[in-house]
Amino acid sequence: MPVYATAPPTAATLHYRLQRVVQGGVRTGAARIDWAPTPEGYMLSLAAEGGLLAGLGAASRGHFDAAGLAPERFVDRRRGRDVQATNFQRASGRVGHSGTPVSAELQPGTQDALSWLLQLPAVLQANPALAQPGAQVLMWVAAGRRAPQVWAFAVTGPASVALADGAAVPSLHLQRRAELPYDLQIDVWLDPARHHLPLRVRLAIPPGPWFSELLLTGPDGATP
């Protein structure tokens, strides 16, 4: 597995329109990503706001090392309470999830179920050659209650994204393909003009109809 050079974005707050297709229908709302890096580490959160989705979200905290973002703890939140945690025990070199005594070896560059969304821009910003169609960005990700898996993000190329306000913005499209039925498939459209921050994110579980999608409505505090 490669260990990439990284250039994390500066602090940013990003606002999105959120849509989820679940059993029982379509749910819509708003969401906010808060990214707060400091010399001592970082805080990253995703929070749904308004409607039936209010209270859903996740948070990651950690520091930085030679491989970029180095998570220490990830929590998945439902209605304001933590329902699952992933702990990166760097002193012992292990990573594990709450509710199970099983842990796995912690590989360099391993991300959690949220931090990958900022690690990907950090890698692409520092490695322009990886933005070419056909290139791949590989990373270990500890998500759910599974042992860490290698996520391969393939660059499909430039694409235009229609934002929630109708504005068309140039982007770079990457995809993590589902290798097995009901595996997680990720499509992400990044903004090369703003440090490759995410413009649109779509998480799907094919062949089922379920998916979640974030579509940017406006950035605050982000700098190119």
CA 120 from centre of chain: 8
In a domain, 6, yes or no: no
Integer Cα distance of 60 and 112 in angstroms: 8
In a domain, 2, yes or no: no
pLDDT of residue 26: 86
Q: Helical H runs in the chain?
A: 116-126
Give the model's confidence band at 60: pLDDT under 50 very low, under 70 low, under 90 confident, else very high: very high
Written in H, E and C, the secondary structure of 166-183 is CCEEEEEEEEECCCCCCC
Q: Is the pLDDT of residue 153 over 90?
A: yes
- Count the neighbouring beta carbons within 10 Å of the beta carbon of residue 106: 20
Report the percent of the chain where pLDDT is more than 70: 96
In a domain, 3, yes or no: no
In a domain, 179, yes or no: yes
3-state SS, residue 119: helix
Total count of domains within the chain: 1
146-170: b or e for each residue (b if 16 or more CB lie within 10 Å)?
eebeebebebeeebebebeeeeebe
- Rounded to an integer, the average pLDDT of 135-143 is 96
In a domain, 1, yes or no: no
**In terms of Cα–Cα distance, which of 54, 49, 58 is closest to 15?**
49
**Bigger pLDDT: 219 vs 103:** 103
The answer to whether residues 132 and 124 touch, using CB atoms and an 8 Å cutoff, is: no
The answer to whether residues 205 and 182 touch, using CB atoms and an 8 Å cutoff, is: yes
In a domain, 64, yes or no: yes
pLDDT of residue 223: 46
Which domain, by its residues, includes 199? 12-219
pLDDT of residue 25: 80
In a domain, 195, yes or no: yes
Average pLDDT, the chain: 91
pLDDT of residue 80: 56
Helices and strands per DSSP (H, E), number in the chain:
1, 15
Q: Is the pLDDT of residue 173 over 90?
A: yes
Q: Is the pLDDT of residue 56 over 70?
A: yes
pLDDT in tens, 61-100: 999 999 999 999 999 987 655 688 999 999 999 999 988 8
154's tokens: 């393939």
pLDDT in tens, 5-36: 999 999 999 999 999 887 768 888 999 999 99
pLDDT of residue 82: 61
Q: Is the pLDDT of residue 224 over 60?
A: no
pLDDT of residue 221: 53
Cis peptide, bond prior to residue 39, ω within 30 of zero: no
- Count the neighbouring beta carbons within 10 Å of the beta carbon of residue 97: 21
In a domain, 5, yes or no: no
